[in-house]
Structure 1
Amino acid sequence: MLRGMDLAVIAAGFGAGILTSTVGVASLLSFPVLIALGIPPVVANVSNTIGLLPGSLTGSIGYRRELREVPRPITIAVIALCSVGSIGGVVLLLALPPGVFAALAPWLILFTCLIVGAQPRISRWLRARSDQPHGLRTSMSPATYFFTALTGVYGGYFGAGAGVMMMAVLGLGLDLELRVVNGLKTLSLLAANVVASAIFVVIADINWRAAALLAIGSLAGGYLGSHIGRRIPGGLLRTLIVIAGIIAAVLMLR
């Protein structure tokens, strides 16, 4: 029989699934709930990553229409870079003291919030300097490759705000509608978390009950979030992403 705290974890998974497919700060909701249950931070982080996989999966399915608009080479490159980067993040998580990378995370999130907010203006400036026809950037630059991989590293290490970071990287590096970027962001983080979870299953301690309860909630939340994210106007979605990222950074600085 489900206990009260079990229902709280399922609810957290549902909410986190919605956030995964929209503003990209899912762990801001689910991770503190696991900590409140008394689960050690690293175990909670690992269990959280595994538990939110179904939300990323159903969110990606919900964005399948948007994902068809992304050139296949870009989709393959983003998935590959995030997957490889997440391996580095797992190594950092299991090898370094918990506070080393986490101390930088709030500042990285705040910086990416600034980038997301200023992205339309920056993109116009980049298009004006582009050598491609009409200034449209339909291929990834070396900088976009690098920062996509770096975001994969962060996603494998902790992940709170990784969606905000990925929105900034892809939004600046490519001329795609924000709803399409949101779909590609959701798919890329799914790839990163699949690789990280596969490693965690082999070598890390996992609270399987917590992971399973999160999975139940995130399964529905991710799909619902993709439909919400598709319907939110681009300007409003950008504002919500910035607000969510700032909240995540402030909570992590406490």
Structure 2
Amino acid sequence: MSGPEQLAVIAAGLGAGILTSTVGVASLLSFPVLIALGIPPVVANVSNTIGLLPGALSGSFGYRRELREVPRPVTIAVVAICAIGSIGGVVLLLALPPGVFAAVAPWLILFTCLIVGAQPRISRWLRARSDHPHALRTSMSPATYFFTALTGVYGGYFGAGAGVMMMAVLGLGLDLELRVVNGLKTLSLLAANVVAGSIFVVIAEVDWTAAALLAAGSIVGGYLGAHLGRRIPGGLLRTLIVLAGITAAILMLT
């Protein structure tokens, strides 16, 4: 890998780290860069997952104040479910043809963009139909458990747009501020990627140069992204998440 190529990977890691902690489409920036350098798709996917781990870690640290606002049982449940779900994603990645999820993923992302955009209205409608319409939902429903696990599986398999999906699931299932949901999303995907990355290290081929360069950029980007995500107004952040998700889906379809 030449000097300019190494700089490109570091820059991709920096940008992906920022996206990890904000709009949640990090892999749509970093993964194509690895492919453009001639790294085989599965190796690029594995190396990308490992390389972005420091970004998710620094992003979660940057959101530590927001994470304190989440009920501890919810945090434990979301992290554990995503981590377990990612194991299924790793199995799918190594067992299925590369194009299986690629055909479905753009439509999943578009659907979750719709949920993110409509989440305030849907949440108000759900509260109005509940037995306690004025009570905030601070515990997870069975549906929220299920879709959190499904997002963990997707994160372990490929992950592009997984942040958008997790924002939709958590934002719809819990009455939390968007900045708090963003912090919980970042932490949950960190858990999924830690498990997936640990398995990849043992049984899959990794391009360690690419992974290390991504890590160098993403650890800075993740922390910067957390500070940006905290300061962006909720409505604007929601709009940016939807636009990023739509862009990701279009890029995957073309």
- The aligned counterpart of 1:50 is 50
Q: Does 1:36 align with 2:25?
A: no
Q: Please give the alpha-carbon distance, in whole angstroms, between the structure 1 residues aligned to 2:190 and 2:146.
A: 19
SS in 2 for 1:109: helix
- The aligned counterpart of 1:145 is 145
| Residue 133 (structure 1) shift | 6.5
Q: Does 1:27 align with 2:27?
A: yes
- The aligned counterpart of 1:62 is 62
Count of aligned pairs between the two proteins:
254
- The aligned counterpart of 1:77 is 77
- The aligned counterpart of 1:7 is 7
Q: Please give the alpha-carbon distance, in whole angstroms, between the structure 1 residues aligned to 2:127 and 2:134.
A: 8
| Residue 136 (structure 1) shift | 1.3
- The aligned counterpart of 1:180 is 180
Deviation >4 Å, runs of 4+: none
**Bigger Cα displacement from structure 2, 103-112 vs 132-141:** 132-141
TM superposition score normalised by structure 2: 0.99
SS in 1 for 2:94: helix
Aligned residues of 1:141 and 1:173 also touching (Cα < 8 A) = yes
Q: Please give the alpha-carbon distance, in whole angstroms, between the structure 2 residues aligned to 1:141 and 1:28.
A: 31
SS in 1 for 2:176: coil
| Residue 2 (structure 1) shift | 6.7
Q: Please give the alpha-carbon distance, in whole angstroms, between the structure 2 residues aligned to 1:161 and 1:131.
A: 34
| Residue 102 (structure 1) shift | 1.4
SS in 1 for 2:134: helix
Aligned residues of 1:129 and 1:135 also touching (Cα < 8 A) = no
Q: Please give the alpha-carbon distance, in whole angstroms, between the structure 2 residues aligned to 1:156 and 1:140.
A: 22
SS in 1 for 2:113: helix
| Residue 131 (structure 1) shift | 2.4
Q: Please give the alpha-carbon distance, in whole angstroms, between the structure 1 residues aligned to 2:130 and 2:19.
A: 34
Please give the per-residue CA displacement for 1:167-186, whole angstroms capped at 9, x wherever unaligned: 00000000000000000000
Q: Please give the alpha-carbon distance, in whole angstroms, between the structure 1 residues aligned to 2:150 and 2:73.
A: 19
| Residue 134 (structure 1) shift | 1.8
Q: Please give the alpha-carbon distance, in whole angstroms, between the structure 1 residues aligned to 2:236 and 2:133.
A: 30
| 5+ residue gaps, structure 1 | none
CA RMSD of aligned residues (A): 1.0
Question: Could you tell me the percent identity over the aligned residues?
Answer: 87
Aligned residues of 1:50 and 1:211 also touching (Cα < 8 A) = yes
Counterpart AA for 2:50: I
Counterpart AA for 2:145: Y
Q: Please give the alpha-carbon distance, in whole angstroms, between the structure 1 residues aligned to 2:79 and 2:174.
A: 15
Q: Please give the alpha-carbon distance, in whole angstroms, between the structure 1 residues aligned to 2:126 and 2:135.
A: 8
Please give the per-residue CA displacement for 1:88-108, whole angstroms capped at 9, x wherever unaligned: 000000000000111100000
Q: Does 1:212 align with 2:222?
A: no
